[in-house]
Amino acid sequence: MKCVLCRLRCVLLVLVFLGATPLHAQSTLAEGFSKLLPGAKVVMMPADVELFQVNAGGDVEPRADWTAAAANHVREGLRARKARLGAQVVDAPERADEQFVELNRLHGAVATAVVLHHFGMLKLPTKDGKLDWSLGPEVSAIRQSTGADFAFFTWIRDSYATGERVAAMIVGALFGVGMPGGIQQAYSSLVDLQTGQIVWFNRILRPSGDLRESEKAQETLDALLAGFPG
């Protein structure tokens, strides 16, 4: 649990360091890629979702019940939006093996690097401003298992201020002290399973959005698919 909290805190600190401003959605395409071709097959990878609460003192704690509900809302919501993707969409195996789990983790790490070095202030000169990131040849395992041409990955971390934290924020504001509340950050990627390249990437960073209830979660899912090249 401590490792989870440390990771979340590190991400939040990086965002503050970069002076990140709230945004609804921001997507980009890799050079040479414009849209999916007719007949393309896309596998929907299991969403990597974790929800947290921010307590009165600013401590961040994971909420397993919220996470389970959010994962279900995201899974069902994406399934309902298959037609919008403009491709033949299939689900990943219900019981994904360890290799699929590791690839999901790899995507989270690479997606975080994309946010830091493509969108953020720590841009890499070698990338020349292009979306030039890959998950490597390991993704061929997904192609072999599903027969898909592309994989759609989703990574979401969402936190919510408790009532006590909101009260503390109000008191702090009265004295000119800014206190952060919850924040929603999410990434979605389309990965070419032949090359491992991320050909489309979208990110959300904002102090709003709610995945705990199905109806409210639909707005976040629409934002995650904004600009999808279907």
pLDDT averaged over every residue in the chain? 83
3-state secondary structure of 176: coil
**pLDDT beyond 50 at 5:** no
| Cα separation values, 183 from 2, 45, 66, 110, 203, Å | 19, 24, 15, 20, 13
- How high is the pLDDT of residue 101? 84
The one-letter amino acid at 27: S
**pLDDT beyond 90 at 153:** yes
Q: State how far the Cα of 39 lies from the Cα of 141, in Å rounded to an integer.
A: 21
pTM, entire model? 0.83
Q: State how far the Cα of 35 lies from the Cα of 16, in Å rounded to an integer.
A: 34
Helix (H) or strand (E) holding 185: strand 184-192
pLDDT digits (tens, 9 = 90+) for 207-220: 888 999 999 999 99
pLDDT digits (tens, 9 = 90+) for 168-202: 556 666 666 666 667 899 999 999 999 999 999 99
| Least reliable range by pLDDT among 90-94, 160-164, 197-201 | 160-164
CB 90 within 8 A of CB 43: yes
Q: What are phi and psi of 185, to 5 degrees?
A: -130, 130
pLDDT digits (tens, 9 = 90+) for 117-151: 887 777 788 888 889 999 999 999 899 989 999 99
Query: Which residues does 53 contact at the CB level (< 8 Å), separation at least 6?
Result: 60, 61, 63, 66, 159, 160, 161, 162, 182
How long, in residues, is the chain?
230
pLDDT digits (tens, 9 = 90+) for 35-53: 999 889 999 999 999 999 8
Cα 141 to chain centroid distance, Å, stands at 22
List the one residue out of 159, 153, 154, 117 whose CA is nearest residue 4.
Answer: 159
Mean pLDDT of 6-22: 46
